[in-house]
């Protein structure tokens, strides 16, 4: 406002130009969203497989968080080993045996309004095809297994679930903790038998398959356009999951566009990472953009938190590389992220030299960030 008073000769002129400025900012936000969308549409598809067999038996699955909808404690999600006959038709107890490692929800909490969720914390999905094997193991009140998707938080998501006691498959959405009326057919869902559930989600359309059979008419819903994916059970259901694969279109957020642009404009950079907290979700501080896709979703540690909370700078130097981690600000000067630059040091490299090299690079992108939310658009 001090600058406005120095530039404009009248209140009317100032208000007019301020309105034009706000209009420009709104247009810029729209432009950023459109650029991200266009880039996402041009991205090749990607695949994600949950390799439970590579995780330690009796451990909590790596890369996931445990939530609960409704009442009661979160579920007891563990990597378990099950023993099976080599032939499904062999009499129980006869013939050779083998084991395999799967995901299990083992809690048998009998509360009715109790929905354990195991949510993959690494990626927010838009369009995807998911296939998973599931098996209802036991339960007195319920024997259910399902997939929750486009999860915003424990109170907002879609879910498709199969019930062995009810012999049905149902879809519904949870909005602010309230479930919509369930939709779906009556179909056999035998207990103790591995079966396959498949979801195809594109824009606002959803299709479901059970054991490769199309069991629903094409559905449309506009409530959630993206979100995380997780495994779901109800009440005292003990259920297993295995062979889960996701074929998806990667979502490119604005923070990643900034990283890509930095590399084009500064080819001498060896690597770039942006650590941030999404204001719209409960996810912790993590890498949200990087020169390496494998870094996305890795949680931030104390140095990155200090950079953001205390507006501090960190410097590290190895034999052939140096790293500078500095705060990244929005247009109002608020610290919204931590920017890590990996550079090749020159002879006599000092901390002051490295920081001096980093500041102009940071300035290249800070003017393009209206707010923390825009990093994730």
What distance in Å separates the CA atoms of residue 147 and residue 275, rounded to the nearest whole number? 29
What distance in Å separates the CA atoms of residue 350 and residue 322, rounded to the nearest whole number? 10
Residues 6 or more apart whose CB falls under 8 angstroms from that of 165 comprise 139, 142, 143
Contact 276, 338 (CB under 8 A): yes
What distance in Å separates the CA atoms of residue 194 and residue 171, rounded to the nearest whole number? 20
Hey, what domains does the chain have and what are their CATH numbers? 24-43+252-376 (3.30.450.40), 46-248 (2.60.120.560)
- Helix pair 351-366, 254-265: axis angle to 10 deg: 120
- DSSP class of residue 52 equals G
What is the mean predicted confidence (pLDDT) over 324-335?
95
Question: Mean pLDDT, the chain, as a whole number?
Answer: 86
Per-residue pLDDT at 44: 65
* Closest by Cα among 52, 65, 236 to 151: 65
What distance in Å separates the CA atoms of residue 42 and residue 28, rounded to the nearest whole number? 21
Q: How confident is the model at residue 171 (pLDDT cuts 50, 70, 90)?
A: very high
* Closest by Cα among 338, 325, 328 to 362: 328
Pairing label, strands 168-175, 178-179: antiparallel
Which of 33-37, 85-89, 161-165, 245-249 shows the lowest mean pLDDT across its residues? 33-37
Residue 196: pLDDT over 60: yes
What distance in Å separates the CA atoms of residue 279 and residue 61, rounded to the nearest whole number? 26
Residue 350: pLDDT over 60: yes
């Amino acid at each position: 406002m001090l600058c406005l008073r120095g530039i404009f000769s009248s209140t009317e002129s100032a208000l007019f130009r301020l309105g034009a400025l706000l209009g420009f900012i709104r247009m810029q936000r729209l432009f950023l969203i459109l650029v991200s969308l266009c880039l996402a549409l041009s991205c090749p598809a990607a695949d994600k497989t949950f390799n439970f067999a590579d995780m330690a038996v009796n451990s909590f699955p790596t890369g996931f968080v445990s939530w609960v909808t409704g009442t009661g404690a979160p579920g007891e999600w563990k990597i378990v080993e099950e023993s099976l006959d080599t032939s499904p038709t062999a009499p129980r107890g006869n013939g050779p045996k083998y084991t395999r490692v799967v995901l299990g929800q083992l809690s048998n909490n009998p509360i009715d309004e109790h929905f354990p969720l195991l949510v993959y914390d690494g990626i927010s999905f838009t369009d995807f095809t998911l296939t998973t094997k599931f098996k209802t193991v036991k339960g007195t009140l319920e024997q259910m297994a399902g997939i929750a998707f486009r999860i915003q938080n424990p109170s907002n998501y879609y879910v498709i679930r199969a019930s062995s006691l009810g012999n049905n498959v149902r879809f519904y959405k949870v909005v602010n903790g309230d479930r919509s009326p369930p939709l779906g057919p009556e179909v056999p869902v035998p207990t103790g038998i591995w079966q396959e559930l498949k979801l195809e989600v594109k824009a606002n359309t959803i299709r479901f398959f059970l054991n490769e059979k199309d069991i629903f008419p094409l559905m449309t819903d506009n409530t959630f356009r993206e979100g995380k994916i997780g495994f779901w059970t109800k009440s005292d259901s003990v259920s297993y999951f295995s062979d889960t694969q996701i074929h998806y279109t990667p979502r490119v957020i604005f923070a990643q566009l900034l990283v890509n642009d930095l590399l084009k404009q500064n080819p001498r950079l060896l690597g770039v990472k942006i650590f941030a907290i999404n204001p719209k979700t409960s996810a912790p501080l993590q890498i949200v953009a990087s020169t390496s896709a494998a870094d996305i979703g890795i949680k931030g540690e104390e140095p990155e938190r200090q950079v953001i909370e205390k507006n501090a700078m960190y410097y590290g130097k190895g034999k052939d590389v140096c790293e500078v981690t500095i705060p990244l600000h929005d247009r109002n000067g608020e610290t919204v992220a931590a920017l890590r630059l990996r550079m090749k040091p020159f002879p006599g490299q000092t901390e002051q030299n490295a920081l001096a090299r980093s500041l102009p690079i940071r300035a290249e992108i800070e003017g393009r960030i209206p707010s923390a939310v825009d990093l994730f658009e």
